[in-house]
Structure 1
Amino acid sequence: MDEIVTGVEHYLTENVPVKLISQGAEALVFETSVHPYNPNKTDETYIIKYRPQKAYRHPQIDKTLTKHRTLGESRCLAKLATMSGINAPQLIACDPYNGYIWQSKIGGLLPNGEFSNLKNYLWFNKNDPYSTINVENVLISVGKQIGILHCNQYVHGDLTSSNIVLEKSGLNNWIPFLIDFGLSSYSTLVEDKGVDLYVLERAILSTHSSFAENYNKWLLKGYESAYNEFYGAKSSELVQVLKKFEEVRLRGRKRSMIG
């Protein structure tokens, strides 16, 4: 890991300090105070997402995949910036040949010091009866963000509570942002949208099982509100997605029963 961090610092030159803040299966996420095109601008914090080389892949295949996925995520972020109502990181720079994406930083810390993604937020508030209304409002807002994304014919591809970040606005108001679009794609298929919803439902169930029923109900409430605003009340588009979502659910249950 130290070698990777050193390699990133060498690539960015010695004048760009970086701090590793997250490590996933495919990429590492760094924090820096230096803007890629204006090194003297150090009053903000930026995120650098880096896809390192995978030793288990053939070098040429690895380069091709890195370029494809980095470009795909960057194009998606650029497209999302043109959509009304979508909250996502702002794309600042992209180097697809070396696997780097430079983007704006969002989110902050919860009162307990944890990073403010949806997963940590729900854990932090699970035993506070006075926070129920706030949790409900946050989840409705999250569901609405997913609905707006789907109404614009984009699917996330990896919707988990860790890939939804909350940014504080006011005393008890949190604004949700969708992040990590490495598996995202343009899709008009209701199947893909149903799978997106199912993946998030399973993620909520696996990490917050005691409250999952209400959490997922509030998410769907926000999701439906986005479709109602975009297409009109009781739209056939929403009916089709929810029908496919139920079909995906049933397939998932059958696989769980078979083992």
Structure 2
Amino acid sequence: MPSLHKDVKATVQSTALGQPVHELIARSTLIKQGAEAKVYRAVLLPSPVRTASTSTPAELAPLPSSPSAVPVLLKHRFPKRYRHPALDAQLTRQRLTSEARALVRCSKAGVRVPGLRLVDVRQGCLGMEWIEGWSVREVLGGGQEDQDDVTTDAAEDEAEEIGALLLAAGVDEDTMLHAVGREIGKMHLADIIHGDLTTSNMMVRLLPGSHTHKESLFEVVLIDFGLSSASPMHEERAVDLYVLERAFASTHPVPSGGRPHFEVVLDGYRAALQGGAKKGEWERVEKRLEEVRMRGRKRSMVG
């Protein structure tokens, strides 16, 4: 897709790479480490320019109209020593470029995703907009069955506090879950498959002024496209949804007498697909989703 490639290339050229990436990592805060990458909270500084002076040689000074330092999320795909260096560099380049293209394509389609801030394929780094908010997992609570009672109680207390903040801004649980479904629907209509849809990979953030208005001023932002791919296949969309359904079932049990969370998500998803240009998209995905569910149940029975 040449246009997407140009967009990613333009992003690379426009980022504040006056700061070498290795220096940026050195003064960043590590917040998460996985098998494939380390995630940091970093700060991008304004790019300096040289200004002439009559008394001293040209010296560095910030642009008069440049923005202040901004926080970013920095994902560093570090070298894997167990792989041949050439193969490792190729895989890192492919995966990083694929993630950047998915973000660009989603953004063009109106899907709320973090904005790209930095791309360096040689260093294996991707810088994205820092999303200030809470994951859907944090908002819903639960999913702490493998931890002790003290940790579980603390997580539940935190979820109640977050829920109170959202309610004060006019955001109830069903409204949030419906918005989750709409964003996933828009993503699928853009032919992007997330590959790792869990409640940890969806952020909820309040927009400026939400505490002074009656209407809901919030947005759901989909994050972590490291396993994403491009595909128009209804089967892959259904698998994406099934992964999320299983995530809800395992981490967020249905409240007594309440409606399953995933059903509310599907309401939003259905609305997004039915509002798309192609007719019958929801019916095709719904049929595939039921088939995927049946295969999943058979595997569970066989073990």
What range describes the TM-score normalised by the shorter chain of this pair? 0.7 to 0.9
Partner amino acid for 1:220?
L
Give the direction of change, closer, same or farther, for the CA distance of 1:227–1:45 in structure 2 (3 Å limit).
same
Largest Rg, 1 or 2: 2
Partner SS, residue 276 of structure 2 = helix
Match of 1:99 among 96, 106, 124: 124
Partner of 1:152: 190
Partner amino acid for 2:246?
R
Distance in 2, matches of 1:187 and 1:151, equals: 10
Partner of 2:77: 51
Measured against aligned partners, the alpha-carbon deviations of 1:212-242 in whole angstroms (never above 9, x if no partner) come to: 952001100000010121147xx41110001
Distance in 2, matches of 1:38 and 1:48, equals: 21
Match of 2:283 among 235, 239, 256: 239
Partner of 2:113: 88
Compute the displacement of 1:52 (Å): 1.1
Aligned length: 241
| Overall identity of the aligned pairs, in % | 35
Distance in 2, matches of 1:36 and 1:16, equals: 18
Compute the displacement of 1:107 (Å): 2.6
Match of 1:63 among 81, 86, 89: 89
Partner of 2:232: 188
Give the direction of change, closer, same or farther, for the CA distance of 1:35–1:73 in structure 2 (3 Å limit).
farther
Measured against aligned partners, the alpha-carbon deviations of 1:94-128 in whole angstroms (never above 9, x if no partner) come to: 111221001111133xxxxxxx11111110149x7
Give the direction of change, closer, same or farther, for the CA distance of 1:242–1:37 in structure 2 (3 Å limit).
farther
Q: How does 1:107-146 map to 2 (within 5 A)?
A: 107-108=132-133, 116-123=134-141, 124-125=159-160, 134-146=172-184
Q: CA RMSD in A?
A: 2.9
Distance in 2, matches of 1:137 and 1:231, equals: 24
Partner of 1:164: 202
Give the direction of change, closer, same or farther, for the CA distance of 1:32–1:183 in structure 2 (3 Å limit).
same
User: Is residue 33–residue 42 contact of structure 1 (8 Å, CA) maintained in 2?
Assistant: no
Give the direction of change, closer, same or farther, for the CA distance of 1:16–1:59 in structure 2 (3 Å limit).
closer
Where does structure 2 lack aligned partners over 5 or more consecutive residues? 1-18, 50-61, 142-158
TM-score normalised over the length of structure 1: 0.83
Distance in 2, matches of 1:190 and 1:13, equals: 44
Compute the displacement of 1:88 (Å): 0.3
Give the direction of change, closer, same or farther, for the CA distance of 1:90–1:14 in structure 2 (3 Å limit).
closer
TM-score normalised over the length of structure 2: 0.72
Where does structure 1 lack aligned partners over 5 or more consecutive residues? 1-8, 109-115
